[in-house]
Structure 1
Amino acid sequence: MREIGIPHPRLPLPAVGYEDDMAEFLVWLGDAIPMVAALGIREMRRDGDALEWQLALEPSLNDKGTGFGGALTAQTTLLGWCWTTLWLRRHGLSRDVVVAEASQRFLAPVTGDYRLTCEPEAGDAPSALAERLEQRGKGRIALVQRLWCGDTLCLEACGDYAVLPAG
């Protein structure tokens, strides 16, 4: 059981040359952030520079029978945090990540199960982050999250994620 003010133990970094097991990461994430259990995440996978979740709508229903904006916003923010954390882990770094700024545009109601994608806003953003981490020990990356219900883009979010200095 989590306690207020007590950090959750970090997941050990994967062995050199190996990537995170997404199922194992999701289990750890659910232990570290209790609300994850209520988000309806069915699957998490990586595709190149994109991270994707498949989600059930039912846990995030609002009074109108569609997706609740607050839940969807929390999911986009957390997916960006996961993208950044997993990117760091692939580079052998165990660092704290925080969301520095986030915004979202709701484009259409979410009326069924959906998928969320997250990728860098600019193609060179990961290399720029690596360079800043090397030079200054900290950095930021801008990510874009998109929520798709079938072929319909329902939500687009943007977030800046800060990687804090080690120690």
Structure 2
Amino acid sequence: MNVSRQPGVPHPRLPLPEGQPDDLVAFQQWLSDAIPMVSALGISEMTRRGDSLTWRLALEPNLNDKGTGFGGALSAQATLQGWCWVTLWLRERGIARDVVVAEASQRFLAPVTDDYRLICSPAELDGPAQLANKLAERGKGRISLTHQLYCGETLCLEASGSYAVLPSR
């Protein structure tokens, strides 16, 4: 796609998958076109299993002055991953809607010293069902998600976010 982005001009939506799971490689390419900074974040792989979305990321493009993971990059990755989780969940159901982050927080537990993985899942087991109900009842809804960043077996970051699905325009 590689469309030049302009402030104030929405990026074209990726067509909804036709009754099959999203091609995560194609989704990641669209994401890089839609949000230019994505290609600089070092995402090497996206996988989904059940209600979890996992990214594998390279440390090198996210280094700080100390040679460890830059907190701002890690925070941006967690926020973006939550947005992707909700967007992919909606797409799986044939719904094309705008998603925004409403709240986000993070706790840094240990330095990130090597390539890492970031895992996003609902904060509550029934979170997806609650979101589906709100969308059916009110045409909009929210879901809380959690993120855990592991460098090897070390938990380095815990984050949480609340993501809103906006009503149709």
Whether TM exceeds 0.5 here: the answer is yes
* Identity score, percent: 68
Question: Aligned-residue CA RMSD in angstroms?
Answer: 0.4
Alpha-carbon distance, 1:67 to partner = 0.2
Q: Distance in 2 between matches of 1:102 and 1:91?
A: 25
**What is the match of residue 10 of structure 1?**
13
Which letter does structure 2 place at the counterpart of 1:144? T
Code of the aligned partner of 2:9: I
What does the per-residue CA deviation read over 1:94-131, in whole Å, with 9 as the maximum and x for residues that have no partner? Answer: 00000000000000000000000000000000000000
Q: Confirm whether residue 92 of structure 1 aligns to residue 89 of structure 2.
A: no
Residue number in structure 2 paired with 1:69: 71
Matches within 5 A, 1:35-50: 35-50=37-52
How far did 1:132 drift? Answer: 0.2
CA displacement, residues 29-86 of structure 1 (integer Å, 9 cap, x when unaligned): 0000000010000000101100000000000000000000000000000000000000
Q: Distance in 2 between matches of 1:74 and 1:164?
A: 21
TM-score (norm 1): 0.99
Whichever residue aligns with residue 111 of structure 1, its letter is T
Q: How many residues align?
A: 166
Which residue identity does 1:7 align to in structure 2? Answer: P
Structure 1 match to 2:106: 104
What secondary structure sits across from 1:117 in the alignment? strand
Question: SS at 2:16's partner residue?
Answer: coil
Q: What 5-or-longer segments of structure 2 have no aligned partner?
A: none
Deviations 1:104-163 (CA, angstroms, capped at 9, x unpaired): 000000000000000000000000000000000000000001100000000000000000
Runs of 4+ in structure 1 deviating by more than 2 angstroms, as ranges, are none
What residue is the counterpart of 1:29 in the other structure?
A: 31
Distance 1:132 1:92 in 2: 16
Q: 3-state DSSP class of the match of 1:71?
A: helix
Partner of 2:130: 128
- Which sections of structure 1, spanning at least 5 residues, go unmatched? none
